[in-house]
Amino acid sequence: MSKLSNLLIMIKLLQTGKKYSIKELAEKLEVSERMVRKYKDDLEMAGIYIDSIKGIYGGYVLNEKLSKISIGLSKYDVDLLESIEKRLEKDKEFEMKKELIDLVNKIADSYNERKSKEYSIPYIRDDLDKQYMKEEKKKYNDFNRAIKEHNKVFVKFISVNSKVSERVIHPCEMFAYNDYWYVAAFCEKRAEIRHFRLMRIVEYRVLNEKYEKTLINR
């Protein structure tokens, strides 16, 4: 099967809530264990987070709280999936054609439903609990305020390799891309401008210390 097919099947398996060992996933997808680890990295780059449980009874489980499977898609992505669906309808040799077409339809339906109920902060899903929505809105507002008042911000965020990193940043701009909010900021550790996806920031603290606007132009 193609890489796309394997990624979709891996998501479908993990969405059941069951824990799968790397070996089990490798057998089901008919690939090497090394490739399963690569798939995990690829999915996390797309905002679908998979927790690794260590130990003899360990394995992979989907992190439902952090993963945004149905919302990290732009209109272009949905159109592309629908184009793939039309091609698959003509492919009589693809074994899992029906399953993949059903999944494409579910993704498209979810996207369209979200667009009809769109919240003011793009990446917040309608089915998230009210407390989580309140916290995310506060985060968005706090970063906007820090930008206006030129306050430094201490952040803890989840990087693409699933590790938690700490930084002191000088936020300078908020922008939305593919239905996610980002903050563009000067990172003191890297001494350059970095883009931080707001939903990956798991802890933050607006500092009293101000930053010089000239630092942003480095």
**DSSP line for 166-187:** EEEEEEEEEEEETTEEEEEEEE
> How far is residue 112's CA from residue 105's CA, in Å, rounded to a whole number?
10
Q: Is the pLDDT of residue 74 over 70?
A: no
The count of residues in the chain is: 218
- Other CB atoms within 10 Å distance of the CB of residue 212: 10
The pLDDT score that the predictor gives to residue 119 is 43
Top-confidence residue, 19 or 107: 19
Instruction: Give the rounded percent of residues in the chain with a pLDDT score beyond 70.
Output: 62
Are the C-beta atoms of residues 164 and 156 closer than 8 Å to each other? yes
Q: For the chain, what are the domain ranges?
A: 1-67, 70-118, 130-217
Q: Is the pLDDT of residue 175 over 90?
A: no
The pLDDT score that the predictor gives to residue 32 is 92
Top-confidence residue, 88 or 166: 166
> How far is residue 21's CA from residue 60's CA, in Å, rounded to a whole number?
6
Contacts of 103 (CB under 8 A, 6+ apart): 8, 12
* CA 53 remoteness from chain centre: 20
Using DSSP's 3-state secondary structure scheme, residue 59 falls into strand
Q: Is the pLDDT of residue 77 over 50?
A: yes
> How far is residue 97's CA from residue 100's CA, in Å, rounded to a whole number?
5
CATH 1.10.10.10 is held by the domain 1-67:
yes
Top-confidence residue, 48 or 130: 48
- Other CB atoms within 10 Å distance of the CB of residue 109: 12
For domain 130-217, give the CATH number. Answer: 2.30.30
Which structure tokens are listed for 30? 């008919």
> Helices 97-116 and 3-14, interaxial angle, to 10°?
70
Are the C-beta atoms of residues 97 and 91 closer than 8 Å to each other? yes
The pLDDT score that the predictor gives to residue 126 is 46
pLDDT in tens, 120-165: 444 444 444 456 667 778 888 999 999 999 999 999 998 766 788 9
Helix, strand, coil distribution of the chain in percent, nearest 5: 45, 25, 30
Are the C-beta atoms of residues 65 and 30 closer than 8 Å to each other? no
The pLDDT score that the predictor gives to residue 217 is 45
Top-confidence residue, 151 or 80: 151
DSSP 30: T
pLDDT in tens, 104-122: 677 666 666 555 544 444 4
